[in-house]
Structure 1
Amino acid sequence: MHSLKTLTLTLVSCLFFIVVNAQQKTTEEEDDTLSLTKGTIDNQFEYVIQKSYNYQDYKNVKKDWLYQLKAHTLDSLKAIQNDLKTTQNKVDSLAQEITTLKSNLSETKTTLAETNEEKDNMALFGLQMSKSNYNVLMWSIIGVLLVLLLFFIYKFKNSNSVTREAKKSLLETEEEFEEHRRTALEREQKVRRQLQDEINKQKTIK
């Protein structure tokens, strides 16, 4: 029982020593990383706080450290301000680009809408009409022209038939006229011969 307590006490002592040693090494490493001439402003403030010596409830800090810390702080603030200014310029430039892109997008949408409207509409005699109305009108015109063509073909055929009938009638009339003329000529010749014969008879009697 005594040896168990001794072992336990020894283990606790070892752990305590290890923890203290680790904390001490961590503190030393932090002290090694802290500097007044490099690192972040926070590290430099921590360096000043740790390296300053205590007097009652106060910290005594070297003036040179304060001036260096002030200069570094102002430099950091100036760098931050420059970064902010650069960032603001970038933001303004991006905002301008966004405005330009929005304007271009609006113009593109307007152009696209006009293009679609022109694509969907057709111009006829200076008038805009939809494709469906244009197609209806075109097919109506084609239908009317087709009807007129069929009508003229019918009239032409009918006229051609009438012409053939007229030619046939004319030919028959000419034949009849020719026959009548020939008959009349023969009758005239016959009358002349009779008249001549009568004249000859009168001469013989005298």
Structure 2
Amino acid sequence: MKKATIIGLLTFFAFTTYVVGQQEEPAPSLNSGTISSQFDYINSVSNNFQEYKVVKRTNLDKIRKNVTDSLNVFKDQLVTVKKDLKERQEQIAGLEAQMSELQDQLTLAVSERDSFEFLGMPIHKSAYSSIMWTIVLILTGALLFFLFQYSQSHKVISKARKDLEDTMEEFEQHRKNTLERERKLKRELVDAMNKRPV
């Protein structure tokens, strides 16, 4: 967190210096301009003594006040930036929580869309579809099997009826032949009894 703050401050100072440097610089003084230009001004108005610069105490106090004021402004701005950063982090945390909740709701909605309860048990639609098609195929197979069995049984029954009819005809013919034979035998018997001398 401290590194981010320092980087933010350095970026802010660099940007401020760049923006101020791009603008037309007013005449140098201790009442306006950047801190750097104020130091340049003090350097230019100060007297030289051997290899030293002699600075007026009023100028030194003025630049100290200006630096302190600038630092206080930067501190206030830093406090504001930190406050904004904290608010944004809280907003981000809130949005992440909402996103997580929405993701859970989406997952639940997709799960509810793709499944339903069948006979009191939750079942996925694809599994239900597979089960239903399996049942349909089994029932179709059973229907075809029973139709085949029915046609085979129908053939057997038809053949049995035909055989029965043929047997009944043979039996009827045999009965007629037997009756005819019996009549013939009775006639012959009657004729033979009539021919016998008494």
- Which TM bucket (shorter chain)? 0.5 to 0.7
Of structures 1 and 2, the one with the larger relative CO (CA 8 A, separation 6+) is 2
Percent of residue pairs bearing the same amino acid type: 31
1:119 counterpart residue number: 113
Residue 90 of structure 2 corresponds to residue 93 of structure 1:
no
Residue 39 of structure 2 corresponds to residue 40 of structure 1:
no
Contact 1:48–1:61, Cα closer than 8 Å, also in 2:
yes
Q: C-alpha distance in 2, partners of 1:126/1:88?
A: 56
The count of residues paired between Structure 1 and Structure 2 equals: 117
Residue among 32, 47, 51 paired with 2:45: 51
Q: Is the helix fraction higher in 1 or 2?
A: 1
- Residue 82 of structure 2 aligns with an amino acid whose one-letter code is Q
Contact 1:122–1:134, Cα closer than 8 Å, also in 2:
no
Q: How big is the shift at 1:138? A: 5.3
Q: C-alpha distance in 2, partners of 1:133/1:49?
A: 87
Following superposition of structure 1 onto structure 2, how do residues 157-176 of structure 1 map, counting pairs within 5 Å?
A: none
Residue 130 of structure 2 corresponds to residue 130 of structure 1:
no
Contact 1:52–1:61, Cα closer than 8 Å, also in 2:
yes
Q: C-alpha distance in 2, partners of 1:84/1:65?
A: 28
Name structure 2 gaps, 5 residues minimum. Answer: 1-23, 143-198
Q: Which is greater in Rg?
A: 1
Following superposition of structure 1 onto structure 2, how do residues 58-77 of structure 1 map, counting pairs within 5 Å?
A: 58-77=52-71
Give the TM-score normalised by structure 2: 0.53
Matched residue SS, 1:36 = coil
Name structure 1 gaps, 5 residues minimum. Answer: 1-28, 148-206
Give the TM-score normalised by structure 1: 0.51
CA RMSD of aligned residues (A): 2.7
